[in-house]
Amino acid sequence: MATESFEEIVEDFEFMDDWEDRYRHVIDLGKGMEPLEDALKVPATKVDGCASQVWLHPKIEDGVFSFEGDSDAMIVRGLIAVLRALYSGLPVADVIKVDARAEMERLGMNEHLSSQRSNGLRAMIERIRLVAAEAAS
């Protein structure tokens, strides 16, 4: 499966009436990601505050942000894929300007995730913003 842009994901969601279809699509996005190498699943890349195990490995090359990620939960792998579509390829300074909550609202995620998943999503976004802020300073 080719990597979708965030706008393509938004467009796909607009054509899906059923939340089960949207969840399946998010899970499929996660299945399309390469798994994170075990060597990168270390305490420094582990995201605290998630109900499942989550690892984010950021990369910054020539001021451009990207990251790899993985989780032991399929829906969370899908959320990582959505966040990759949202953030990867942006200049580091622009990453911290993204209103991720508003962008996720475009997908209807805010009201359809459990409180644990919402907390985990927030923790992933905070980690991304922290790494970008440190790199930008």
Mean pLDDT, the chain, rounded, equals: 92
CB 119 within 8 A of CB 22: no
Any domain includes 65: yes
Within a domain: 57: yes
Q: What is the pLDDT of residue 136?
A: 84
Residues 6+ apart with CB under 8 A from 17: none
Please check whether residue 22 lies inside any domain of the structure.
yes
Name the residue range of residue 90's domain: 6-136
Q: Specify if 1 maps to a domain.
A: no
Stretch 41-67: mean pLDDT: 94
Domain CATH number, residue 25? 3.90.1010.10
Q: What is the pLDDT of residue 110?
A: 73
Q: pLDDT of 26-50, one tens digit each?
A: 999 999 999 999 999 999 999 998 8
Higher pLDDT, 131 or 114: 131
Q: Total domain count for the chain?
A: 1
Evaluate whether 69 touches 37 at the Cβ level (below 8 Å): no
So what's the pLDDT on residue 2? 52
Question: Is 77 a catalytic site residue?
Answer: no
What digits encode the pLDDT tens for the residues 95-118? 999 999 999 999 987 778 888 889
For residue 123, being part of any structural domain is answered with yes
Q: How confident is the model at residue 1 (pLDDT cuts 50, 70, 90)?
A: very low
Catalytic choice (50, 75, 82, 104): 50
The mean pLDDT of 58-86, rounded to a whole number, is: 96
